[in-house]
């Protein structure tokens, strides 16, 4: 455990620079992640929002170097975690020193991320045994009880020897969170951690993640397609569309003052509790085919403000205000 997590708040724990992860198929190449740059500071939550196929999960798998092989390959870019470029590391080092220890992951479905034939105590204890952080049976048992307490599992010493099927959905996701924080990582990636849960349980898990973050100062990447969840947990939000980040900024800016037409359309098209509207705005058309992405802006075909230039040249990342970037030709024009 770090002596003083507060001392590190604000330092970037992750820097991703021009990341490109492509999937090579017989029929052609899918540019799943195509030039993505962002950073995450200690103690902050960055939301990656976008619809399925926008590249948010591929981005997170690239950071962990867990992209499906063969087929997918990170073709260029830099991923710096705590100052180390993980793209330079070999698989042994990734396993020994990075995954679980420096970066951990909370996935969507706790039923598939837990092994049904091992007890909860065994599985959470594996993190300590593998990274050789705690030695001896009873010491590991104590460490597991401690970490299960931190994720608010009631009377963990009695539930240690239970199996995953004896836990409810929300409790299982707490166990996964316990495994993720066991080795005090610098960065945690949560990929749709609440999408399979009911709303009354979802709010419990969101609150838990925020509390954990306050206690440990861990940097968190929160992947979601639910704008409501993003508004609840994130400090900053990156909106992805067709393999690229189209807009990034702090959460108030993205929700109150979005600059990219895709972000604007997305926010207008979701029903908002307590704000009744006659009709929702609907973004016309469908997301582009990622094997043959359009040249120019990938949102051009669906954009209400499309200009000739949008169809031929991809807009550069334009700064709207400090910390707020949007990749749209309209942004440069307004200056």
Partner 1 sequence: MILEIDNLVKHFPVGGGFPFGGSKGEVKAVDGVSFGIGAGETFALVGESGCGKTTIAKLILLLEKPTAGRIVFDGTDLTNLNSRQVKEYRRNAQAVFQDPYSSLNPRMKIRDILAEPIRAHQTMGRKDLERRLDEVLEIVGLPERAKRNYPHEFSGGQRQRIAVARALTLNPKFIVLDEPISALDVSIRAQILNLLEDIQKELGLTYLIIAHDLALVEHVSTTVGVMYLGNLVEIGPTAQVFDDPQHPYTQALLAAVPRPDPKHGLSEQLATGEIASALNPPSGCKFHPRCPHVMDVCSQTYPELRRIGESRAAGCHLLEEQSA
State the minimum distance, in angstroms, from the CB of residue 237 to partner 1. Answer: 9
Nearer to partner 1 among residue 38 and residue 222 (C-beta): 222
76/67 Cα distance (integer angstroms): 14
C-beta closer to partner 1: residue 123 or 253: 253
Measured from the CB atom, the residue of 283 and 330 that comes closer to partner 1 is 283
Taking Cα atoms as reference points, which of 49, 86, 9 lies closest to residue 231? 49
- Can you give the binding site for partner 1, defined by CB under 8 A? 51-53, 168-171, 198-204, 206-207, 210, 225-232, 251-252, 255-256, 262, 265-267, 269-274, 276-277, 279-284, 286-287, 302
Instruction: Compute the least distance from the CB of residue 71 to partner 1, in Å.
Output: 20
Q: In this complex, which beta carbon is closest to partner 1, that of residue 186 or of residue 260?
A: 260
Question: With the CA atoms of 168, 169, 171 and 174 taken in that order, what torsion angle do they form, in degrees rounded to the nearest 10?
Answer: 160
Instruction: Report the nearest approach of partner 1 to the CB of residue 117 (Å).
Output: 22
88: which 2 tokens? 């330079």
Q: Is 84 exposed, middle or buried (0-12, 13-18, 19+ CB in 10 A)?
A: middle
Q: How far is the CB of 286 from partner 1 (least distance, A)?
A: 5
Determine the Cα–Cα distance for residues 335 and 330; give it in Å rounded to an integer: 9
CB of 91 to partner 1, least distance (A): 34
- How far is Cα 326 from Cα 294, in angstroms, rounded to an integer? 19
Closest CB to partner 1 among residues 8, 302? 302
What are the distances in angstroms from CA 75 to CA 21, 35, 103, 258? 6, 10, 22, 31
């Amino acid at each position: 455990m770090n002596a003083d997590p507060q001392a590190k708040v604000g330092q970037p724990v992750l820097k991703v620079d021009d990341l490109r992860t492509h999937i090579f198929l017989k029929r052609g190449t899918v540019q799943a992640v195509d030039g993505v740059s962002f950073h995450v500071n200690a103690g902050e939550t960055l939301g990656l929002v976008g619809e399925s196929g926008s590249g948010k999960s591929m981005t997170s798998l690239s950071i962990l170097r867990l992209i499906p092989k063969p087929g997918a390959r990170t073709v260029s870019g830099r991923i710096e975690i705590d100052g180390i470029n993980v793209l330079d590391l070999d698989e042994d080092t990734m396993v020994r020193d990075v995954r679980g220890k420096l970066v951990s992951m909370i996935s969507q479905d706790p039923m598939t991320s837990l092994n049904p034939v091992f007890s909860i105590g065994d599985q959470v204890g594996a993190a300590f045994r593998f990274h050789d952080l705690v030695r001896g049976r009873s010491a590991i048992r104590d460490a597991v009880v401690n970490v299960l307490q931190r994720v608010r599992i009631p009377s963990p010493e009695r539930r240690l020897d239970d199996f995953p099927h004896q836990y409810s959905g929300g409790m299982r996701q707490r166990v996964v969170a316990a495994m993720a924080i066991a080795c005090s990582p610098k960065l945690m990636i949560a990929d749709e951690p609440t999408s399979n849960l009911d709303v009354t349980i979802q709010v419990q898990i969101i609150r838990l993640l925020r509390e954990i973050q306050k206690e440990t100062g861990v940097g968190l990447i929160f992947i979601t397609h639910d704008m409501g969840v993003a508004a609840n947990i994130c400090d900053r939000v990156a909106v992805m569309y067709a393999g690229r980040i189209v807009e990034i900024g702090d959460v108030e800016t993205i929700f109150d003052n979005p600059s990219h037409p895709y972000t604007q359309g997305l926010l207008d098209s979701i029903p908002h509790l307590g704000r009744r509207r006659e009709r929702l705005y609907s973004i016309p058309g469908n997301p582009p085919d990622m094997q043959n992405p359009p040249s120019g802006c990938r949102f051009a075909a669906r954009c209400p403000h499309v200009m000739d230039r949008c169809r031929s040249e991809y807009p550069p990342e334009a700064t709207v205000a400090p910390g707020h970037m949007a990749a749209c030709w309209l942004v440069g024009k307004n200056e």
